[in-house]
Structure 1
Amino acid sequence: MSRRSTLGSVLATVAASALLLAGCVPGSQPSPTSTPTGESVSPELEPFYSQVLEWESCGDGMQCATATAPLDWDDPPAGEAELALVRHAATGDRIGSLLVNPGGPGGSGYDFVANSLDFAVGAPLQERFDVVGFDPRGVGRSSAVACYDPAQMDEYLYSLPESPRGSDAWMQEVREARAAFGAACESKTGELLANVDTVSAARDLDLLRAVLGDEKLNYLGFSYGTLLGATFAGLYPEHVGRLVLDGALDPSSSESDVTSAQAVGFERALRAYLENCLTGEECPFSGTADDALAEIAELLASVEASPLRGTDGRQVGADTLITAIIYPLYSQQSWPALDQLFTSVQFGDADLALQLADGYNGRNPDGSYLDNSTEAFSAINCLDYEYQSDVAVMREKAAGIAEAAPIIGPYFGYGDLGCLDWPVPSEAERAPIHAEGAAPILVVGTTGDPATPYEWSVALAEQLDSGVLVTYDGEGHTAYNKSNQCVSDAVERYLIDGVVPEGETNC
Structure 2
Amino acid sequence: MSRAAAALVAATLVMTGCSAKGETRLPADGASPSDPPAATTPTGEPATAAPSPALAPFYTQKVRWAPCKDGFQCAKIEVPLDYGDPGGERIQIALIKLPATGKQRIGSIVLNPGGPGGSGIEYARAATSVLSPGVLSRFDTIGFDPRGVGQSTPVRCLTGPELDEFIGLDGTPDDPAEVKLLARGAEHFAAACQAKAGKLLPHVGTADAARDLDVIRAVLGDQGLTYLGKSYGTYLGAVYAELFPKKIRALVLDGAIDPSLAPVPYVNAAQARGFETALRAFLADCFTASSCPFPEKKTGPALDRISELLRSADRQPLRNKTGDQRKIDESWTTLGIVTALYDKRSWPVLRTALAQAFKGDGTTLLRLADVLVDRRPDGSYSNQTEANMAVNCVDHPYPNRTSAYEDAARKAQQESPRFGAYVMWGSLPCEYWPVKAKGPDKPLTARGAPPIVVVGTLRDPATPYEWAKALASQLSSGVLLSFDGDGHTAYRTGSACVDEAVDRYLISLIAPRDGTKCPKIT
- Residue 141 (structure 1) aligns with: 151
Q: Aligned partners of 2:245, 2:306: CA distance in 1, in Å?
A: 47
1:388 equivalent to 2:396? Answer no
Corresponding position of 1:53: 63
Alpha-carbon spacing, 1:152–1:416, altered in 2? closer, same or farther (3 Å): closer
Report the alpha carbon displacement of residue 436 of structure 1 after superposing the two structures with TM. Answer: 0.5
Q: Which amino acid aligns with 1:49?
A: Y
In 1, the alpha carbon distance for the partners of 2:222 and 2:509 equals 16
Aligned to 1:468: 479
Q: Does 1:262 align with 2:271?
A: yes
Match of 1:411 in 2: 422
Structure-2 separation of matches of 1:276 and 1:249: 27
Q: Which residue of 2 aligns with 1:458?
A: 469
Equivalent residue in structure 2 for 1:239, among 237, 247, 258: 247
Taking a change above 3 Å as real, the CA distance of residues 406 and 212 of structure 1, as seen in their structure-2 partners, is same
The number of residue pairs the alignment matches comes to 479
Q: Secondary structure at 1:260's aligned position in 2?
A: helix
Question: How does the TM-score come out when normalised to structure 2?
Answer: 0.89
1:69 corresponding residue in structure 2? 79
- Bigger relative contact order, structure 1 or 2, given CA contacts below 8 A and separation 6+? 2
Which residue of 285, 288, 312 corresponds with 2:294?
Answer: 285
**Preserved CA contact (<8 Å) 2:11 2:113:** no
Q: Tell me if 1:362 matches 2:374.
A: yes
Higher mean displacement: 440-449 or 390-399:
390-399
1:189 counterpart residue number: 197
Q: 1:314 aligns with which of 323, 326, 332?
A: 326
- Compare 439-448 and 496-505 and name the one that shifted more: 496-505
CA distance in 1, matches of 2:148, 2:485: 33
CA contact (8 A) 2:12 2:130 kept: no
Partner Cα separation in structure 1 for residue 420 and residue 110 of structure 2: 35
Aligned to 1:79: 89
Aligned-partner SS, 2:53: coil
Deviation at 1:446, TM superposition (A): 0.4
Where does the alignment leave 5 or more consecutive residues of structure 1 unmatched? 10-33
Residue 478 of structure 1 pairs with residue 489 of structure 2 = yes
Post-superposition Cα deviations, 1:117-141, rounded to whole Å, max 9, x if no partner, equal 1122111111001110000000000
Match of 2:238 in 1: 230
Distance apart, 1:159 and its partner CA: 4.5
Q: Distance in 2 between matches of 1:323 and 1:337?
A: 14
Q: Does structure 1 residue 218 correspond to structure 2 residue 226?
A: yes
Q: Any idea what the Cα deviations from partners look like across 1:217-254, whole Å, max 9, x if unmatched? A: 11000000000000000111111210000000000111
| Aligned AA (2:96) | V
Match of 1:349 in 2: 361
Asked if structure 1 preserves the Cα contact closer than 8 Å seen for 2:255 and 2:460, the reply is yes
Residue 409 (structure 2) pairs with residue 401 (structure 1)? no
* Contact 1:303-1:316 within 8 A present in 2 as well: yes
Q: How does 1:425-436 map to 2 (within 5 A)?
A: 425-436=436-447
Displacement of 1:8 in angstroms is 6.5
| 1:427 to partner: Cα distance | 2.1
- Tell me how far 1:415 sits from its aligned partner: 4.0
**Aligned counterpart, 1:23:** none
Alignment-derived partner of residue 334 in structure 1: 346
Give the equivalent residue in structure 1 for 2:8: 4
CA distance in 2, matches of 1:318, 1:94: 50
Aligned-partner SS, 2:96: strand
Partner of 2:40: none
Tell me how far 1:273 sits from its aligned partner.
0.7
Listed as ranges, the matches of 1:60-209 within 5 Å are: 60-92=70-102, 93-114=104-125, 116-160=126-170, 165-209=173-217
AA paired with 2:189? F
Post-superposition Cα deviations, 1:91-134, rounded to whole Å, max 9, x if no partner, equal 221111110000010000111112x1112211111100111000
Cα distance in 1 for partners of 2:308, 2:444 equals 42
Residue 69 of structure 1 aligns to a residue whose secondary structure is strand
Q: Distance in 1 between matches of 2:64 and 2:106?
A: 21
Superposition deviation, residue 414 in structure 1: 2.7
- Distance in 2 (CA, whole Å) between partners of 1:35 and 1:189 is 37
Aligned to 1:85, the other structure's residue is in SS state: strand
Asked if 2 retains the 8 angstrom alpha-carbon contact of 1:70 and 1:77, the reply is yes
Q: What is the aligned partner in structure 1 of residue 335 from structure 2?
A: 323
Taking the aligned partners of 1:332 and 1:348, their CA distance within structure 2 comes to 25
The letter for the 2-side match of 1:227 is: Y
Deviation at 1:178, TM superposition (A): 1.6
Q: CA-atom RMSD, angstroms?
A: 1.8
Q: Answer whether contact 2:258 2:468 (CA < 8 A) is retained.
A: yes
Partner SS state of residue 310, structure 1: coil
Aligned to 1:500, what secondary structure does the other structure show? strand
Cα shift at 1:7: 4.9
Correspondence for 1:274 = 283
Inter-partner Cα distance in structure 2 for 1:419 and 1:503: 37
Query: Runs (4+) of structure 1 moved beyond 4 Å?
Result: none
Question: Which amino acid is 2:410 matched to?
Answer: A
1:242 and 1:7, CA in 2 relative to 1: closer, same or farther beyond 3 A?
closer
1:35 Cα deviation (Å)? 9.4
SS of 1:413's equivalent in the other structure is: helix
The Cα offsets for residues 155-212 of structure 1, whole Å up to 9 and x where unpaired, read as 2222458xx8143322222222122122222222231121100111011111111111
Superposed displacement of residue 38, structure 1: 5.1
Tell me if structure 1 keeps the 8 A contact 2:173–2:182: no
Structure 2 residue 359 is matched with structure 1 residue 373: no
| CA distance in structure 2 between the partners assigned to 1:316 and 1:248 by the alignment | 32
Deviations 1:284-312 (A, max 9, x none): 11321111001111111111122224133
Given that 1:35 and 1:49 are in contact with CA atoms closer than 8 Å, whether structure 2 keeps it comes out as no
User: Match of 1:419, SS?
Assistant: helix
- In structure 2, give the amino acid aligned to 1:149: T
Q: Deviations over 1:339-389 (max 9, x none)?
A: 1111111111121121111111111222122x2101111111111111113
1:263 is paired with a residue whose SS is helix
Q: 1:40–1:368: structure 2 CA closer, same or farther, 3 Å change rule?
A: closer
